[in-house]
Amino acid sequence: MPQFYPPVRTLMGPGPSDVHPRVLQALARPTIGHLDPKFVELMDDIKRLLQYALQTKNELTLPVSAPGSAGMETCFVNLVEPGDKVIVCINGVFGNRMKENVTRIGATAIVVEDDWGKPVDPNKVEAALKENPDAKVLAFVHAETSTGVESDAKTLCALAQKHDCLTIVDAVTSIGGIPCDVDGWGIDALYSGTQKCLSAPPGLSPITFNEKAIEVIKNRKTPVQSWFLDLNLVLGYWGSGTQRSYHHTAPVNALYGLHEALLMLEEEGIENSWARHRAQHEALKTGLEAMGINFIVDEKSRLPQLNLVTIPDGVDEAAVRKQLLADYNLEIGAGLGAFAGKVWRIGLMGQSATNNHVLLLLNALKACL
């Protein structure tokens, strides 16, 4: 059996995005112990850099040692108890996954549904909040990776606060690509991913919880159902000070990579990163529309970093994706769920949001059509 040398792809699907050589090289630095004083220093740096990326001063800000789905589960299992009521907004795959999380806890999900490709409707959310004054949490997806839609997180959080409801926000695809103002909007709990606009490899999930959310966790009536994701325990390791107690063995090398990717975001400046994503989206849009390819999502809720576009008439969408991969080593995404077979998902995330990526995509696609 031979060693595995992956092909050098250009990643323009829904994630992972291209990882910069600096980050890849960081992964290969020698492994040290998860309780080594030098590693504890790195953990502190990562926390500070994550606070910058998530635009928050929350002390409880750390990367969960598992992918975004586990970050989602961390938010739900810590904040929600059996019997609680959670308003879950569903306008794509990840809202559905949130609902699964709620019901598996033994809590009740009140579903606010919107069509795939549309943002969460704040009027429906307000109606649900009024009808359910006992709802404990409002959960929604800021940037839906399955549909390329941005929902108005600021407005939704303001509604939740007005009705004394906590918020859990999925920001897997938003962080680094569009503004997501955790403190300014009053988000109580949020999870993200590393393999989208942060351009680190997949496998970690940054989370942040504010003081209000921490109080809720501290005052739980039942234990958190997951030992691995119980923040009371995780904090013994990721908390402050030099004395860190062993909880689980942190994924040391993956954290080297995340640290380097976060440094690169800080060097660029997060506002510049948002502007870069926006500018590359505009370039892509101009090029695609000139080819008669249109966007699925209305302009005002369109994500710059994840573009859902129509398949030209008579084109076999899977064959084109296959050809892009075979002839150009270029990955774009298929549609998921309601959009399966009907759209392409073109990612411009993190290191994949450059002029060269847009040029390659437009010309390779032109050649395949």
Contacts to a copy of itself from residues 61-100, by CB under 8 A: 65-70, 72-73, 97, 100
33 touching a copy of itself, by CB under 8 A: yes
39-58: contacts with a copy of itself (CB under 8 A) = 39, 42, 45, 48-49
Residue 20 CB, nearest distance to a copy of itself (Å)?
10
Residue 350 CB, nearest distance to a copy of itself (Å)?
11
Phi and psi, residue 108, nearest 5°: -105, 130
Helical (H) or strand (E) element with 10: strand 10-12
320-349: contacts with a copy of itself (CB under 8 A) = 325, 331, 336
354 touching a copy of itself, by CB under 8 A: no
| Shorter beta-carbon distance to a copy of itself: residue 194 or 301 | 194
Residue 289 CB, nearest distance to a copy of itself (Å)?
26
Q: Is 111 helix (H, G, I), strand (E, B) or coil?
A: strand
Residue 148 CB, nearest distance to a copy of itself (Å)?
16
How far CA 162 is from CA of 9, 56, 182, 185, 207, in Å, comes to 47, 21, 17, 12, 24
Q: Is 309 helix (H, G, I), strand (E, B) or coil?
A: strand
259 touching a copy of itself, by CB under 8 A: yes
Q: Lay out the site mask for a copy of itself across 221-250 (x = CB under 8 A, - = otherwise).
A: --xxxxxx-----------------xxxxx
Residue 191 CB, nearest distance to a copy of itself (Å)?
12
Tokens of 51: 């606070």
Tokens of 158: 């303001």
16 touching a copy of itself, by CB under 8 A: yes
How far apart CA 357 and CA 177 sit, in angstroms, is 16
Residue 129 CB, nearest distance to a copy of itself (Å)?
25
Contacts with a copy of itself by CB under 8 A: the residue count is 76
How far apart CA 169 and CA 49 sit, in angstroms, is 20
Helices (H) and strands (E) in the chain, counts: 13, 13
Which range binds a copy of itself by CB under 8 A, 32-40, 129-137, 173-181, 356-364?
32-40
CB distance 140 to 170 below 8 Å: yes
Tokens of 151: 């929902």
350 touching a copy of itself, by CB under 8 A: no
Helical (H) or strand (E) element with 73: helix 68-79
Residue 39 one-letter amino acid: F
Tokens of 194: 């590393």
3 touching a copy of itself, by CB under 8 A: yes
Helical (H) or strand (E) element with 162: helix 153-162
1 touching a copy of itself, by CB under 8 A: yes
| Shorter beta-carbon distance to a copy of itself: residue 125 or 141 | 141
| Shorter beta-carbon distance to a copy of itself: residue 30 or 241 | 30
Among 8, 134, 219, 314, binds a copy of itself (CB under 8 A): 8
| Shorter beta-carbon distance to a copy of itself: residue 7 or 241 | 7
Contacts (Cβ under 8 Å, ≥6 apart) of 249: 34
Among 122, 251, 287, 312, binds a copy of itself (CB under 8 A): 251
Residue 210 CB, nearest distance to a copy of itself (Å)?
23
Q: Is 357 helix (H, G, I), strand (E, B) or coil?
A: helix
27 touching a copy of itself, by CB under 8 A: yes
| Shorter beta-carbon distance to a copy of itself: residue 129 or 224 | 224
Among 18, 144, 150, 317, binds a copy of itself (CB under 8 A): 18
CB distance 306 to 143 below 8 Å: yes
Q: Pairing state of beta strands 205-209 and 60-64?
A: antiparallel
How far CA 33 is from CA of 104, 251, 321, in Å, comes to 35, 10, 42
| Shorter beta-carbon distance to a copy of itself: residue 256 or 274 | 256
CA 108 to chain centre: 24
143-182: contacts with a copy of itself (CB under 8 A) = none
Which range binds a copy of itself by CB under 8 A, 155-163, 220-228, 275-283, 299-307?
220-228
